[in-house]
Structure 1
Amino acid sequence: MAAAAAASEEAVKAAKVLMVGAGGIGCELLKTLALSGFRDIHIIDLDTIEVSNLNRQFLFRQSHVGQSKAKVARDAILKFRPNINITPYHANVKDGQFNVEFFKQFNVVLNGLDNLDARRHVNRLCLAAEVPLVESGTTGFLGQVTVHVKGKTECYECQPKPVPKSYPVCTITSTPSKFVHCIVWAKDLLFAKLFGDKKQDNDLNVHSKDDNSSKADVFERNIDENLEQYAQRIYDHVFGYNIEVALANEETWKNRKRPYPIYVRDALPEEAVQQNGGSRDCKNEEQEPSAMGSLGLRNPQEIWSLADNSRVFLEALKLFFEKREKEIGNLIFDKDDQLAVEFVTAAANIRASSFGIPPHSLFEAKGVAGNIVHAVATTNAIIAGLIVIEAIKVLKGDYQDYRMTYCLEHPARKMLLMPVQPFQPNKSCYVCSETPVLLEINTKTTKLREVIDKVIKPKLGMNLPSVMIGSTIVFEDGDDLDKAEAANYALNLEKVLAELPAPVVNGTKLTVEDFLQELSCNINIKHRDEFDEEKEPDGMVLAGWSGPVDTQATSNGEKKLVPSSSSADDDGTAKDISAKPGMKRKLNEILESEENCDVVQNPSDVGSSSAQVVEDDDDDDVVMFDEDPKLGKRKRLQ
């Protein structure tokens, strides 16, 4: 025992560790590493500290708001461990400086990330550098730690990742029945149309057949129109006129409750419209613009009346044009943008009123719009401790003792922590096993740009891809291209596959590489003439590594095909795995008495009891679950 302890201590002292993420898990992890004897720690984090972080990211204080998380975390630890080396990087882990050579200098990499894209990127760099990776995540009382070692355990991408909950476009635009439908409409359609890319088209730009201005964009502000008039016209169009147009389709409302159109004159008396925003405090011009502040609304947990929502909507719209006009055209909804949250909350509530859906407070609406899952500091601390335990095993080379550990909300047989042996590498994983994937596509009508935008970047996770057909490079991405090369590749993007310099036909093999990730993937092409527009709207189907394919709605509401999130057998049972060496049993048998164990709900799906995987764009400690042990299904971290 003494010899083993000494070996562990020496391994810890000599180790050079990379932490990615300095948020909820990261703060606890850095503290635990420092107190466990680690002496050389490097931290990468892109974020700055926000007020909302302070309740659980204990290394930060009010005075640190706006500063780099990585740098402040370093300074906080050095106050009680001044003799260790901590190197912070206020940067994106996907930046070119963090390449394979950079990763090779470390003995182990510890992840505390909050998004699928970054996780996949780190996984690939660790595989290329042959550095062990310890993954982690928490959501509320649930947590997990997994170990990924090249050739010995499955990599992070050995199993397909579940797709976030989304909704059909027809539901969002025509027949909402839940508040989340109204939020998606307000955020992804109305906000985007008013303040985002002006070139986009959506179902909000509705005209009647008799409207002589039918070719004009309703959302363009007229030359002779002041902001007050413009805001009211937009209000009347999206909440009034569009609803009237929808009501004209009697077939839609035969078995549904009919909505009612709302116009400014219905929601606000004329004098209230004229006085809207009159209480604005001109002394706070340098502060972030806020419709609530202008209107004297202070409580974010108050549910506003239709009149208040209307006032906030009109005021927020005007403030965007008065205070942030230079940003209009490039804005994307951000849950940390107060004015954007106010606008989306008010718009969603007005639409909800029209369809007979109960309104929500700004606090609730922000949670739905931002997919926020509330964090628990204790869970972060437990998970951080488990990360360090697995990191020490990795440093000692104790492969047989590696464990994937799950922190359960409802302890099974008094087990708060459930350890299982890691899974073997998936032989069909295109990332760590280099197995080709199959792409069914119409090579005569599909452009190269569509393949890159719909498959190579989002589904295969390539950030800077190059595409080769045999020895011919048909596309390459990067800042180091000369003008002639860039122009040539731009031309290729608009060509259909069969007309590329090296034509793509049935049986062609594409080689796709991302040099930053040192990843190469082969795509075998299978030509298909026709696709089901309802089930296969992309006009292409990716198969092979991704396993069974399910139909899922996209973020804009349209349906698409995505990999199944389960690797379970048809009967729903999990593969045999060990809770302890020499004692193998199925996870669903271990947890058979727990009816609701490890079910992660989509926070956007208010009132739903179905198990969903959350797409996190909040803090580092708000993430997805790898596994649902009760159901015997793998729900890999997003």
Structure 2
Amino acid sequence: MVGAGGIGCELLKTLALSGFKDIHIIDMDTIEVSNLNRQFLFRQSHVGQSKAKVARDAVLKFRPHISITPYHANVKDPDFNVDFFKQFNVVLNGLDNLDARRHVNRLCLAAGVPLVESGTTGFLGQVVTVHVKGKSECYECQPKPAPKTYPVCTITSTPSKFVHCIVWAKDLLFAKLFGAKNQENDLNVRSSDASSSSQQTEDVFERKNNEDIELYGKKIFDHVFGYNIELALSNEDTWKNRHKPRPIYSKDISPIELPHQNGNQAKISVGGDISSVSAMASMGLKNPQDLWSLNENSAVFLEALKLFFSKREKEIGNLSFDKDDQLAVEFVTAAANIRASSFGIPLHSLFESKGIAGNIIHAVATTNAIIAGLIVIEAIKILQSDTKNYRMTYCLEHPSRKMLLMPVEPFEPNKSCYVCSETPLTLEINAHRSKLRDLVDKIVKAKLGMNLPLIMHGSALLYEVGDDLEEDEVANYAANLEKVLSELPSPVMGGTILTVEDLQQELKCSINIKHREEFDEEKEPDGMILSGWTPALAAEKNGSTSTTENGASTSGVSQATSLMTEEDDDLQIIPTQPGGKKRKISDLSSAATSDFSSVAKDTKIQRKDVDGNNDVVMLDDGSLGNSKKKIET
């Protein structure tokens, strides 16, 4: 088992009660208070302890004679290599992120061990079974879209939705104030007027020695909510067809008197043994679902900034946003709401803002239990070599037939998959401008998911990482990272074929380099395009494209929008529109509803992945039912 969270707890219990006697669990997480509403093997007293170890102890209380081996570790650690995976009959995933899923998929392929994938979102879920090398598609046979992003100009200049304000507050303002020093972004822009020439090189966000915290806070407030808005308004063409924002300055905000705290700042609990100073508590704001006024948001913003610099000053310079950091959530919520107020966007509560900023989709315990049961059914089939009855099962409520479970036969391997079919990839890149570091970070690690990559051009080794390298080798590879591709010891140009390999994953693939001079900075911000492991869609062949909600270009036939991933085991399933007329499930005979096998055989299903966690299923009529409607289970 990989993962001992929402699905993992149910899965371990069901395996133990189904007669499995030798189970190994890998999970790197510790138990948090927020886990307790659905991860039933854990209790309040377990907060802060290893999930894998506590889950083992809990199950052994009612099944003391079985063997459960827990590993409080990252499945990507070198100890969990191909040889480690070869000792198992089956691997069951209950993971919460794309990176780990891809890694386990590759190790199972290399070890020749069947893998059962799974995921849930609220009342929806699926068991993607069974990944068997050469017999059914692997987890990566269907490409996973990139995380949802937004055009920089929308975030910095023309937000139209509250999520744009959250991204601005979290990734720009919070990072600039509390993250790594000397960050460059548009927040620090100054007027180029002669009257302001003395301020052109000034870093507005730098707090000078002994500068009063309250005065510093008001300076930041006036700059980002007042001055920057004034500067944006100076470009009149931008606002010809848009609602103009209004600048907000600290002098325009009515002061709010803070409640007396006996000389101490109030604290609120944020996950058991973790406490954080809270601006909300200082102001007497108790309900996170309340909608704060502009005055209250402004007061929370200034108070939170003050508390960071007075109570957590040692952390400043190393902070990154964390949804479990109460003060960080308060600051981002207040900043986003002030900006939203400026642009005429409806305000949101702290509870809602935390969900958006933390990419939270809430889990449902009953769905986890259903999915865990289905995983065990597939595991038993694998042990019985019952290959003809392997099923991929989707848990959803069909609006007309009231079907909860919908199995389909596994798909065959995608012959264009670079992971299990070793199909060459194509990379469009400017070989005269892009550095080897860009290729390693943005493509090899981020898109191909390799942990310890090795890059070769013919017999020339351009890059390698590992503990067994000599000092001069490490220095040479580090120097190569800073060279543009065309200036490497073995130059990489258009027409070059690179071999990229990860020895830990036992994965090797080829990348055909295609030189390209220019890229669209908004639509292609990485300055490179990787392709080649998915068949072209009909709309792409016809040159038809459209723009999704996040501004990214997609095919006209399928517009699967990448949504948020939850902190546990969740995926979001949304409807997509079919490219052609297909048979509807509602047209099937009533007898088929009691025979899921015949439904699976008689019904064609198209899948589109939407969040990098799992696959989305689309019924033939393009519907999935209402994910917000409660399913009776």
Range into which the TM-score falls when normalised by the shorter chain: 0.7 to 0.9
Match of 1:101 in 2: 83
Distance 1:277 1:625, change over 3 A: farther
Match of 2:281 in 1: 293
Match of 1:324 in 2: 312
1:174 corresponds, among 147, 157, 161, to 157
Q: How many residues align?
A: 584
CA contact 2:584–2:620 (8 Å) conserved in 1? no
Match of 2:52 in 1: 70
Match of 1:8 in 2: none
Q: Give the CA deviation at 1:302.
A: 1.0
TM-score (norm. length: structure 2): 0.86
- 1:348-382 deviations in Å (ceiling 9; x for gaps): 11111111222111111111111211111111110
Are 2:246 and 1:260 equivalent residues in the alignment? yes
Bigger Cα displacement from structure 2, 481-490 vs 151-160: 481-490
CA contact 1:280–1:294 (8 Å) conserved in 2? no
CA contact 1:20–1:109 (8 Å) conserved in 2? yes
Take 1:206 and 1:43, find their aligned partners in 2: how far apart are those partners? 51
Take 1:268 and 1:495, find their aligned partners in 2: how far apart are those partners? 55
CA contact 2:428–2:516 (8 Å) conserved in 1? yes
Match of 1:16 in 2: none
Q: Give the CA deviation at 1:628.
A: 2.6
Match of 2:105 in 1: 123
Are 2:80 and 1:90 equivalent residues in the alignment? no
CA contact 1:94–1:118 (8 Å) conserved in 2? yes
Take 1:512 and 1:569, find their aligned partners in 2: how far apart are those partners? 36
2:604 corresponds, among 578, 587, 592, to 587
CA contact 1:163–1:562 (8 Å) conserved in 2? no
Take 1:543 and 1:633, find their aligned partners in 2: how far apart are those partners? 29
Match of 1:395 in 2: 383
CA contact 1:187–1:333 (8 Å) conserved in 2? yes
Take 1:246 and 1:631, find their aligned partners in 2: how far apart are those partners? 46
Take 2:401 and 2:354, find their aligned partners in 1: how far apart are those partners? 37
Take 2:518 and 2:201, find their aligned partners in 1: how far apart are those partners? 33
Q: Give the CA deviation at 1:162.
A: 2.6
Match of 2:292 in 1: 304
Match of 1:156 in 2: 139
Take 1:574 and 1:47, find their aligned partners in 2: how far apart are those partners? 44
CA contact 1:160–1:565 (8 Å) conserved in 2? no
Take 1:201 and 1:155, find their aligned partners in 2: how far apart are those partners? 41
Distance 1:329 1:547, change over 3 A: farther
Take 1:508 and 1:632, find their aligned partners in 2: how far apart are those partners? 42
Match of 1:524 in 2: 512
Match of 1:424 in 2: 412
1:431-446 correspondence to structure 2 within 5 Å = 431-446=419-434
Take 1:119 and 1:583, find their aligned partners in 2: how far apart are those partners? 26
| AA of the residue aligned to 2:449 | G
Secondary structure of 1:516 counterpart: coil
Match of 2:33 in 1: 51
Take 2:253 and 2:79, find their aligned partners in 1: how far apart are those partners? 55
Secondary structure of 2:421 counterpart: coil
Distance 1:50 1:203, change over 3 A: same
- 1:97-131 deviations in Å (ceiling 9; x for gaps): 11111111111000000110010001001111111
Secondary structure of 1:385 counterpart: helix
Are 2:611 and 1:629 equivalent residues in the alignment? no
1:14-25 correspondence to structure 2 within 5 Å = 19-25=1-7
Distance 1:267 1:62, change over 3 A: same
Q: Give the CA deviation at 1:572.
A: 7.5
Match of 2:172 in 1: 189
Bigger Cα displacement from structure 2, 494-503 vs 385-394: 494-503
1:219-618 correspondence to structure 2 within 5 Å = 219-269=205-255, 272=256, 281-282=264-265, 287-410=275-398, 413-548=401-536, 570-571=579-580, 580=597, 584-587=601-604, 613-614=610-611
Take 2:472 and 2:317, find their aligned partners in 1: how far apart are those partners? 30
Q: Give the CA deviation at 1:482.
A: 2.7
2:204 corresponds, among 195, 218, 234, to 218
**Aligned-residue CA RMSD in angstroms?**
3.0
Distance 1:329 1:311, change over 3 A: same
Take 2:305 and 2:599, find their aligned partners in 1: how far apart are those partners? 64
Secondary structure of 1:143 counterpart: strand
Distance 1:531 1:575, change over 3 A: farther
Secondary structure of 2:306 counterpart: helix
Bigger Cα displacement from structure 2, 160-169 vs 244-253: 160-169
Distance 1:304 1:583, change over 3 A: closer
- 1:177-197 deviations in Å (ceiling 9; x for gaps): 211111111111111111112
Are 2:190 and 1:207 equivalent residues in the alignment? yes
CA contact 1:195–1:331 (8 Å) conserved in 2? yes
CA contact 1:421–1:579 (8 Å) conserved in 2? no
Take 1:175 and 1:583, find their aligned partners in 2: how far apart are those partners? 47
Secondary structure of 2:398 counterpart: strand
Q: Give the CA deviation at 1:171.
A: 1.4
Take 1:427 and 1:579, find their aligned partners in 2: how far apart are those partners? 28
| AA of the residue aligned to 2:215 | Q
CA contact 1:183–1:344 (8 Å) conserved in 2? yes
Take 1:633 and 1:582, find their aligned partners in 2: how far apart are those partners? 16
Distance 1:129 1:412, change over 3 A: farther
Q: Give the CA deviation at 1:324.
A: 2.3
Distance 1:356 1:529, change over 3 A: closer
Distance 1:282 1:328, change over 3 A: closer
Take 2:134 and 2:89, find their aligned partners in 1: how far apart are those partners? 16
Take 2:559 and 2:500, find their aligned partners in 1: how far apart are those partners? 24
| AA of the residue aligned to 1:34 | A
CA contact 1:279–1:296 (8 Å) conserved in 2? no
CA contact 1:48–1:67 (8 Å) conserved in 2? yes
Take 2:524 and 2:345, find their aligned partners in 1: how far apart are those partners? 32
Are 2:23 and 1:41 equivalent residues in the alignment? yes
Bigger Cα displacement from structure 2, 325-334 vs 75-84: 325-334
Q: Give the CA deviation at 1:507.
A: 2.1
Bigger Cα displacement from structure 2, 58-67 vs 385-394: 58-67
| AA of the residue aligned to 1:104 | K
Q: Give the CA deviation at 1:631.
A: 6.2
Match of 2:627 in 1: none
Q: Give the CA deviation at 1:493.
A: 0.9
- 1:531-560 deviations in Å (ceiling 9; x for gaps): 4445434332212114448889999x8868
Q: Give the CA deviation at 1:294.
A: 2.0
Q: Give the CA deviation at 1:588.
A: 5.8
Match of 2:629 in 1: none
Q: Give the CA deviation at 1:446.
A: 2.0
| AA of the residue aligned to 1:28 | E
Q: Give the CA deviation at 1:506.
A: 2.6
Q: Percent identity?
A: 70
| AA of the residue aligned to 1:339 | L
| AA of the residue aligned to 1:148 | H
Match of 2:148 in 1: 165
Distance 1:54 1:130, change over 3 A: same
Take 2:369 and 2:287, find their aligned partners in 1: how far apart are those partners? 32
Take 1:21 and 1:233, find their aligned partners in 2: how far apart are those partners? 46
Take 1:109 and 1:160, find their aligned partners in 2: how far apart are those partners? 22
Match of 1:143 in 2: 125
TM-score (norm. length: structure 1): 0.85
Match of 1:608 in 2: none
Secondary structure of 2:42 counterpart: coil
Q: Give the CA deviation at 1:453.
A: 1.8
Distance 1:298 1:284, change over 3 A: closer
Distance 1:86 1:572, change over 3 A: farther
